[in-house]
Structure 1
Amino acid sequence: MTTTPRPRPEVLRYTAFSRDPDGGNPAGVVLDATGLDDAGQLAIAAELGYSETAFLTAPPEGLGGEPGRTFTARYFSPKTEVPFCGHATIATAIALASQIGPGDLLLSTRAGTVPVTVTRDASGGYLATLTSVEPEVTGIADDDLAEALAALSWPAGDLDPELPPRIAYAGARHLVLAAAGRARLADLDYDFERLAALMRRLDLVTLQLVWRESATVFHVRDPFPVGGVVEDPATGAAAAAFGAYLRTLGLVEAPVELTLHQGHDMGRPGLITVSLHSDDPFVRVSGTGVRIPDGG
């Protein structure tokens, strides 16, 4: 008896944190990954070549949420699965909204349950807001920090002393390093394998490299060698972790809205909004998105 193989699922391409298909961070979106095993999902992500591709299947029993708007979400880079990806979540939510309309969604991820709300913005496009899992901020050992700076070729004197290095988590772990000047952030030329080795050892997904323009406006960059990508153009998970970092260290006071500019140094400008509320510990990350035309 032979089994007819399932047809290859449709892979949508959306950019997140920009209304321009050439801006923000592109993500693959598979709205029905039923029947795809880990190897199949990884193969699609590797073939597509984006920093992450999201794969949706039926939700686990007992999750709750509205039927037809609740899913299991998994995220694969070209090299590995990651527990959570913010930009692919934004892209997925907007892809879903284009088919089932705006409203509330609920995603079961490896990091935990992530609610997402999609609304129409003033231009008639979609705006998606995800709510993080509970965040955590921890220190980094001096030797590990020295290794990270060596891999980046960043002298310790180029760091902003008012934004100390920390490891921040809001679904995935990121090392936050703050540059004292915009030029330091712009000059990113790192040792790919050396940094990847450190990140694997520390279970980091990206480095969140930042420069503070003002109290609530930041420019950020995210090396992602563990995913097989030199740099992530716009990183929602790291943005959520960074919001938690700022609040935990008392660098901002909730309620507050933060603006993160990312991708400008790569020629893919994107805009990420991070909101901190005073009545809960979670971080909200918002962004626009748009489908990338076939052949684009």
Structure 2
Amino acid sequence: MQQNQTVPEFILLGLTQDPVRQKMVFIIFLIFYTATVVGNLLIIVIIKVSRTLGSPMYFFLFYLSLTDTCFSTSTAPRLIIDSLSAKKVISYNECMTQVFALHLFGGMEIFVLTLMAVDRYVAICKPLRYPTIMRRQVCIVLIILAWIGSFIHSTSQILLALKLPFCGPNLIDHYCCDLQPLLKLACMDTYVINLLFVFDSGALCSSSFLLLMISYFVILHSLRNHSAEGRKKALSTCTTHIIVVILFFGPCIFIYTRPSASFSIDKMVAVFYTIGTPFLNPLIYTLRNAEVKNAMRKLWSVKITSESKW
């Protein structure tokens, strides 16, 4: 993989070195990760089996939940296991794989949230043309393009990581492998790679967030011409999306738009968008979405009825 690479493995310092706190980390994040997987898989199943959730919004929500599950899985299991390990060792190849997975599913999260904003813009600002513009075939093509874009982004990140020679030390002050903490260990001048890293990840986060905020501003501005009931429904949906966008993009921008500076709070901020946001998304989309809650009730009632008959 890397001719100049002499370090066969890295040691992750994790969130804390205190044994008592490590046990707390194990319990807390095991609960968070389990709830994340269960919650997102529940949304996936509900959207798949429900006949009432066939609109493009739920088509994209399906992929958001799928991405959240994979995104959280790229970091949480190792964090949970390492919290009980005396020596948190990760091999070079595993580290590079984690960098690739982190940016693949992180990029997909960005693109899916952008597609959801596009869907809401067309639904609210172009209601008569909505069925034509956001037809099933178009949505499928958009998701395929999102996967391609995510793959290109993650490939660019892993190519930058593979260019870094590691001669020692091999202590990563983080709970996962990412390009930013790896840059500190490289035995070379990383100025250019650092700029490329910020230009790629930082620009992707910042530009996507700016476009999303502009689109939602246009949507909210256009609601003046809608009825009171239409405004209420549209505001409910848009508010949900805006909350998710801010929760995800805020930490991302904080982490990926700085050229070389690092702060002690970085690890906690990274935890929030890699594990916290995938955990919160199912809660936000179910608690604030009447259609999803109704579909859940119908699915539950069908299950209870079938069990009683049995």
> When the two structures are superposed, what TM-score results if normalisation uses the length of structure 2?
0.27
Structure with greater helix percent: 2
Structure with greater strand percent: 1
Q: Which structure has the greater CA radius of gyration?
A: 2
Higher relative contact order (CA 8 A, sep 6+): 2
